[in-house]
Structure 1
Amino acid sequence: MTDRNDTLPVRLREVVLRHRRRIVLAIALLLLTLLAGTALLGLSGHFLTAAALAGSTALGFNFFGPSAGIRALTFVRILSRYAEKLLGHDATLRLARDLRVWFFRRALPLAPLGLGRFRIGELMARLMADIEAVDGVLVRALGPLLAVLSLCALATLVATLAVPAAGALLLIALMLIGALAPWLAARSVAALEGERAEARMRLRASVQEGIEGQQDLVAMDAASAWLAALDARSREVAHWEDLRKRRLALASLAHALATAATLPAMLWVLLSAVHAERIGAAAAGGLFFMTVAVLEACSAIAPAWQAWRAAATAAGRLEEVVEPKHEAPSRGRMGAQPPAPRGALWFREVVFAWPGSARRVLDGASLRIEAGERVLVSGDSGEGKSSLLALALGLCTPQAGEVRFADDDLRTLDPALWHTRIAWLPQDAPVFSGSVRENLHLGDPDADDARLWRALAQVKLDARFHDAGDGLDTWVGENGATLSAGQARRLALARALLRDAPLLLLDEPTEGLDQDTADALMRDIATASEGRSVLIISHATLPDGVVDTRYRLRDGKLMHEDGPGSL
């Protein structure tokens, strides 16, 4: 990864470069717009000077040629400006789409383990504010910087060919503005943009968490404290925004002072050239007005440079999410072998510890789940139950021992194909805002209505939605707001069962449910999962007949148990 303060990270830059043709064309149109505007002002200056001279000496003057040129340049500027906006925003929207796809594609595989270090509000801030900063890099930073740089080069060339002294003066002024304005606008930008982004993230997280926890805040009479904290976060954001604007104002002041010094000097150089008859008065007027136009265009340098550095900082923050420095243990070599259709899942003398911890949550743990067998693993919190699921999902690999499926080491299997063999019900499986059909199609996008109804019948939810009137189109609300906790859990289970996978992994499937609802759900799971291998992680007591074998995880080892819930 490259330095986030100078450029976009390498992987993220690849996403931007997918649209390089549109980006190049948009920048070319922006340059054409600037050139047309500069030429328009220069030609107007030439025309006005020549007309004034013609009027004062009573000489004949051709008004039609310059007037036609002015009208032509006006139309070119209007059309190129319109085309640049159209194409530039099209490229920006495409870039915004691809950045979000890139982010989700990289972040979602980390969700079970690697994203737990982030607050939800922080992830939302990065998804929204940081991606917005990056997807606007074309219209706010890259386009203006490159177009103005090209304009300055062409204007300096024209001035040098006409009057070398004028070209040298313009070059010095442009180099001064080009160096001073970005420096003033982006001094200590890494700290400023980083602190600004962090402050905005903390404010967004506080708002989001306050909205989610409003009932608890009211119940505990903590709303006033939360509002005070929110006010402090707002002042913090305002502080960094003011500092950013002050730096931009300093850059604008430097640009104005440089312009104020350059224009009189340029006028003196051009008048001297006219007096020495090295250039005509009308041409000198055109060069002077061209200088005015170029210096005005340079006012975009400071905000564009600030936007570029902000985008680079935001891109680095996005990379921190999808490329964490301290990941879960390495997956090791990524295999390419397709997994068998069915088989036993075998944890053989597994040793596993999380990064930064010397404690082995699994220390010589062994477990074999035969095809079609249902197994329960229980244990106290922190004993390593979820680590078993992480290993089974292939999200990490053990430091010693191995995990095998149908006698194939998981490290030799293609990860994407391996995940097609798994139906997973996480502890906090969400119900998404939408219809029943839309939620179930996440399990199998190609499932027809008959199959969806069968999945609902397996978890005893078919009658609930038949009676609702809208059937599969019944709206379930945000986080399943129209459903009870048990119904939401069953809907998530139906979604998992729709995956035609031989292995079903269930993480605390009865969490948050009352005992009667939990027992009913587990009996339905036993019936619905008939013929599949099932690994259930739970600390709850299961009803009789739900599992075939029962283990308890203690001190890193799995011990076979007999008791309620085993056959």
Structure 2
Amino acid sequence: MQIKSPWLALFLAIVHAFSGLTILLFSSWFIAACAVAGTGFNYMLPAVLIRALALIRISSGYAQMWVGHSHLLNLLAKLRLNLFSKLKNQLTFTTGIESDKLTFQTEAIASIWVGWVSQNASAWLAMAVLTIFTVLQLPVFSFAWISFVLVCAVIYLYLIVIGIKAAKRSLAIRQELECDIEHYVNAAPIWHMYQDIEHPKAGEYFKMNRQHQNSQDNASLWLLILCFVSVVYLFSVIQVSQVFSPVILVLPMAIMAAPDWFGRIFATQTRLMDYITSVKNIKDISGVKPLTRQTCKISTIKVSDFAAQGAKHKPVSFLLEPHSLLLLQGGSGVGKSRLLQAISGLISYTGKRQINGVELEGVLDDCIYIEQSPYCLSATLRDNIKLANASVTDDRINQVLSQLNLSQLELKGSTADKPNKLDQWIGEKGRKLSGGELKRIGLARAMVSNASMILLDEPFEGLDQANITHVVNIINTLSQTKGVIVASHIIPQQLQSTSSLQLS
């Protein structure tokens, strides 16, 4: 069914389009015939035929949508699963580009049959059938009709050519915009700290879309003018003997309705443009590389001329050892978060990273990175904490929650009427956590983990002074046995950093 469904959908789309066009042309003939026919004319048969055509049009339309969209969804799932398999255990330069592939580009490929092939094939097949009809039944209109078809073809090809030329540039602009938006959203917790924060600029992308829309509008206008001129010409060449022939109205009606049955395919050319660029781009995974994992126990991390790929700051060099706390500072958007991600091996980087004196690539299992906005699974509180250590006990979790001043989430006891609070559901389908609570949940993961190195991204943002004091004390305690890097624009006085680094 999946192999045949696009062709079945195409067949149903053609039946739908032809039945609609036939209703229009046959009704025109019927009205004209009624005006000149004698008393013996069978009025019932054409009326029955028009109703049958209407039923065929409705049923084929619904069937085409069902079959076509079933194929679209099946193909979309297949494309996305295939892309997921290619990206599995891979490092990416930015999630924006790969997200664009998973959403926009896979949909552009999957929808080509429904959004472009069916409509364009129906329109041009109708054009071919009308050409044959004109040559055989209305030879006096042959020159005018063939000229009409050729001009329509020129307009059609014009839209395709300019669309293909603009396709690659449009893709590059959209992906650059998505990357800018990704970086901008990642910096959301510190927007209020900066008056001159640079917002993503979408003007060029919308300008391109407007230019393409203007091209489609111009093509539609040219078609309207062409239809008007063609109809005027057709009526000027009708011979007197043909005036009372009902069939003579078929071609003028087809031309007057051309903006509907043919002109609507102008708007589908963006589908073709997106399809062409997506087919080429979705196969390109040059922006990712295989992910390796380093499971060794970490004593030292030394980086030299180091920066996350695409970072805006100058490369940095430093040594992180146990019993140390490195304070990382820098302005909004300079790349503090990406630097931490690169150190842990979550994203690509430039420069050298030595683990225990040896240059190693890949994700560091003995290093935990706590995000600026920690993820909250739609799961139990216990499951969210155990992300960092699957073997941690409930007692240890409750101890950590208490230290982080999250006593309202702490286990108070477990009875039939007082269930274990670690079993409470949090996240999207459960208890909503505030930004400050999420920050402390992230720190709780760091505390229960067995990692030797801890990287904390903006751990004080969104906390009141009392909770900042709690968190600072915990970080100071962690740095007595582990290597800790804190990236923050809030610098509490109690924070006992052993060194600091300013990104510029």
TM range (shorter): 0.5 to 0.7
Which residue of structure 2 lines up, in the alignment, with residue 252 of structure 1?
A: 220
TM, length-normalised to structure 1: 0.57
Residues 213 and 494 (structure 1 numbering): CA distance in 2 closer, same or farther, change over 3 Å? closer
State the partner residue of 1:430. Answer: 374
Q: Please say if residues 389 and 505 of structure 1, whose CA atoms lie closer than 8 Å, have aligned partners that are also in contact.
A: no
* Structural mapping, 1:499-510, within 5 Å: 505-508=454-457, 510=459
CA offsets per residue over residues 212-261 of structure 1, 9 Å max, x none? Answer: 799959xx9x9xx99xx99xx99999999887766554333211111112
Q: Does the CA-based 8 Å contact 1:173-1:258 persist in structure 2?
A: yes
Matching residue's letter, 1:262:
S
* Conserved? CA contact 1:271–1:284, under 8 Å: no
Letter in 2 for 1:536: V
After the TM superposition, which residues 200-349 of structure 1 pair with which residues of structure 2 at under 5 Å, given as runs?
247-266=215-234, 281-294=245-258, 296-305=260-269, 309=273, 311=274, 334=290, 343-344=297-298
CA shift, 1:152, in A, is 2.1
Residues 446 and 399 (structure 1 numbering): CA distance in 2 closer, same or farther, change over 3 Å? closer
CA distance in 2, matches of 1:114, 1:240: 24
Letter of the 2:48 counterpart: A
Q: Take 2:313 and 2:500, find their aligned partners in 1: how far apart are those partners?
A: 18
Which secondary structure does the structure 1 equivalent of 2:262 belong to?
A: helix
In structure 2, the residue matched to 1:77 is: 57
Are 2:344 and 2:369, in contact at CA under 8 Å, matched by a contact in 1? no
DSSP-derived class of the 1:538 partner? strand
Q: Distance in 2 between matches of 1:75 and 1:52?
A: 26
Q: Residues 542, 389 of structure 1: CA spacing in aligned structure 2 closer, same or farther, 3 A cutoff?
A: farther
Is the contact between residue 340 and residue 457 of structure 2 (CA under 8 Å) also seen in structure 1? Answer: no
The answer to whether the 8 A contact 2:398-2:410 is kept is: no
Asked whether the equivalents of residues 141 and 308 of structure 1 are also in contact (C-alpha less than 8 Å), the reply is yes
Give the match for residue 415 of structure 2.
none
C-alpha distance in 2, partners of 1:423/1:272? 91
- Taking structure 1 as reference, are residues 422 and 443 closer, same or farther at Cα in structure 2, changes over 3 Å only? farther
CA shift digits 1:289-339 (9 cap, x unpaired): 445545541221333335655x479969x979x9899x7xx85xx377xx5
Question: Which residue identity does 2:374 align to in structure 1?
Answer: P
Distance between the aligned counterparts of 2:378 and 2:271, measured in 1?
Answer: 40
Deviation at 1:81, TM superposition (A): 1.7
In structure 1, list runs of 5 or more residues that go unmatched: 1-18, 557-567
Answer yes or no: is 1:489 the counterpart of 2:439: yes
Task: Please show how residues 475-554 of structure 1 align to structure 2 within 5 Å.
Answer: 482-483=433-434, 485=436, 487-495=437-445, 505-508=454-457, 510-512=459-461, 516-522=469-475, 535-538=483-486
Measure, in 1, the Cα distance between the counterparts of 2:13 and 2:284: 35
Please say if residues 308 and 349 of structure 2, whose CA atoms lie closer than 8 Å, have aligned partners that are also in contact. Answer: no
What's the TM-score once normalised by structure 2's chain length?
0.63
Q: Of 390, 397, 422, which aligns to 2:342?
A: 390
Structural RMSD (CA) = 6.4
Q: What displacement does 1:36 show?
A: 0.7
Cα drift, residue 144 of structure 1: 3.0
- Decide whether aligned partners of structure 1 residues 504 and 281 sit closer, same or farther in structure 2, where only a CA change above 3 A counts: farther
What is the Cα deviation at residue 65 of structure 1?
A: 3.9
Using the TM superposition, give the Cα deviation of residue 451 of structure 1 relative to its aligned residue in structure 2, in angstroms.
6.6
Taking the aligned partners of 1:526 and 1:264, their CA distance within structure 2 comes to: 87
Q: Is the 8 A contact 2:29 2:249 kept in 1?
A: yes
2:25 equivalent to 1:42: yes
Q: 1:269 to 1:98 in 2, by over 3 A?
A: farther
**Aligned-partner Cα distance in 1 for 2:367–2:374:** 15
CA 180–335 in structure 1, closer or farther in 2 if over 3 Å, else same: closer
1:537 maps to amino acid: I
1:46-195 aligned at under 5 Å gives the runs 46-55=29-38, 58=39, 60-88=40-68, 114=94, 141=116, 143-163=118-138, 166-180=141-155, 183=158, 190=166
CA contact (8 A) 2:18 2:122 kept: no
Say if 2:216 and 2:266, in contact at 8 Å, map to a contact too: yes
Distance in 2 separating the partners of 1:399 and 1:215: 30
Q: Distance in 2 between matches of 1:86 and 1:497?
A: 53
Equivalents in 2 of 1:36, 1:97: separation in Å? Answer: 33
Q: Which residue does 1:29 correspond to in 2?
A: 12
Equivalent-residue separation in structure 2 for 1:74 and 1:488 (angstroms): 59
Counterpart mapping for 1:370-409 below 5 A: 374=322, 376=324, 378=326, 381=329, 387=339, 390-393=342-345, 395-396=347-348, 399=351
Instruction: Tell me the distance in 2 between the aligned counterparts of 1:508 and 1:243.
Output: 42
Amino acid at match of 2:154: A
**Other-structure match for 1:465:** 409
> How many residues in Structure 1 have an aligned counterpart in Structure 2?
469
Q: Letter of the aligned partner of 1:507 in structure 2? A: L
Stretches of structure 2 that go unaligned for 5 or more consecutive residues are 413-417
Cα distance in 2 between the residues matched to 1:492 and 1:344: 21
C-alpha contact 1:436 1:474 (8 A) present in aligned 2: yes
Cα distance in 1 for partners of 2:375, 2:340 equals 25
CA distance in 2, matches of 1:379, 1:429: 19
Q: Describe the shift of the 1:182–1:36 C-alpha distance in structure 2 as closer, same or farther (beyond 3 A).
A: same
CA distance in 1, matches of 2:136, 2:483: 80
| Per-residue deviation, 1:488 | 2.6
Aligned partner of 1:299: which letter?
A: G
Hey, what's the Cα distance between the residues in 2 that align with 1:111 and 1:335? 6
Q: Given that residues 324 and 479 in structure 2 are in contact (C-alpha distance below 8 angstroms), is that contact kept between their aligned partners in structure 1? A: no
2: CA distance, partners of 1:510 / 1:555: 17
